[in-house]
Amino acid sequence: MFDKIQTIIHDECGVAREDIVPEADLRGDLGIDSMAAVNLSFEIENAFGIVISDEELATLTTVADIVALVEAKQEKPND
């Protein structure tokens, strides 16, 4: 799961793979602004077959947060 998300962040945002670690802050460490975060959420939705609401997107601050959300969404596909 982490590897796939790491690849999506790398491909969509141009962040070096070695910088994409679970504890990395999306904005502060990886330089992902709000527009890039929206685009990233679309790619993650497509890759994993989930839907990320605007409210959920606003709560994501680290790479680990993305992984946890995707895992939770895959466990409960109707949410």
Q: Is 33 a catalytic residue?
A: yes
Q: What is the DSSP letter of 9?
A: H
Question: Which of 33, 54, 65, 79 is the catalytic position?
Answer: 33
The residue assigned the tokens 């679309």 is: 42
End-to-end CA, the chain: 19
Catalytic residues: 33
